[in-house]
Amino acid sequence: MNFEAIKSIYSFEMARTRRTLLQSVVSPVISTSLYFIVFGAAIGSRIHMVEGISYGAFITPGLIMLTLLGQCISNGSFGIYFPKFTGTIYEVLSAPVAMTEIVLGYVGAAATKGMMIGLIILLTANFFVDITIQHPFMMILFFVLTAVTFSLFGFMIGIWAGNFEQLNLIPMLVVPPLTFLGGSFYSISMLPPFWQAVSHLNPVLYLVSGFRWSFYGIADVNPVLSLAMITLFLVICLGVLGWIFRTGYRLRN
C-alpha cells in the first residue's frame, strides 16, 4: 500500500476545502441554521411533539443526514471530475499508484469533509434544541458508513459525468427530494397506509430512521434493517467501482 500517494491525494483535496472555506463550511451551516429557524418557528409552533420528542429535536438527525448526503456526494463527485475536466487525471493514472489508493485518497477526503460539516451542524443544533444521543456507538457507525458510502457514490457520479450539468443532475434533482420525502421532517406514521408503503421504497428513509434511532431510540423502520440497507448500498458501490476500474470506463477512454 502506497501511503504517500494516499496522503498526497488526501492532503490536496483537504487543502481545496481550506481555500473555499465560505462555500465548503460556512454556507451549509447557515443553510441548516435557517432550517431550524423556519421549521422551528413555523411548523414547530404547530407540531409541539413527535413521538414524545420536541419537533426541533426530532428533525435534527434528518437535517444532519440531509447535509451529510449532499456534502459527501458533492465533494466526492467534484474531487474526481475536476481532474478529468483539466486533464490532470492522466498524471494520476500513469503514476505508480493503485486504483485502491486513488479511491482511498479521493473518497477519504470527501468523507472527511462531509463528516466535518455534519459535526458542525450537530454542534450548531445544540444552540436551538436539546439533543440526547442514546446510542453513541451506533450514531458514529451510521454517520461514518453513510459518509463513506455516499462519497463513493459521488465519486462514481464524477467519473460518469461528461459535463457540469450531468455532475449536478443527481445531487440537485434526485437526492434532495428523496431526503425530504424520507422522513427527515416527519414520521411516516403520520402518513396514510398507502404512502407509508411507498415511503419504504425510498432508500433515504432507512438512513434517516436508523440515525434518528441512535439519538432518541425511535425509528420508522427496524435499526438492524437500516444498517443492513446502508451496508448493502456500500457493497454495491464498491462492486460498481471495481468494474469501472477494471474496464477504465470514462477514465482511460
17: cell is 476545502
Q: What are phi and psi of 50, to 5 degrees?
A: -130, 110
pLDDT at position 253, please? 57
What distance in Å separates the CA atoms of residue 93 and residue 15, rounded to the nearest whole number? Answer: 21
Q: How confident is the model at residue 41 (pLDDT cuts 50, 70, 90)?
A: low
CB atoms inside a 10 Å sphere around CB 164 = 11
Percent of the chain with pLDDT over 70: 94
Indicate whether 108 pLDDT > 90. Answer: yes
Domain ranges in the chain? Answer: 3-247
Q: How confident is the model at residue 171 (pLDDT cuts 50, 70, 90)?
A: confident
Closest to 125 measured CA to CA, from 192, 59, 207, 26: 59
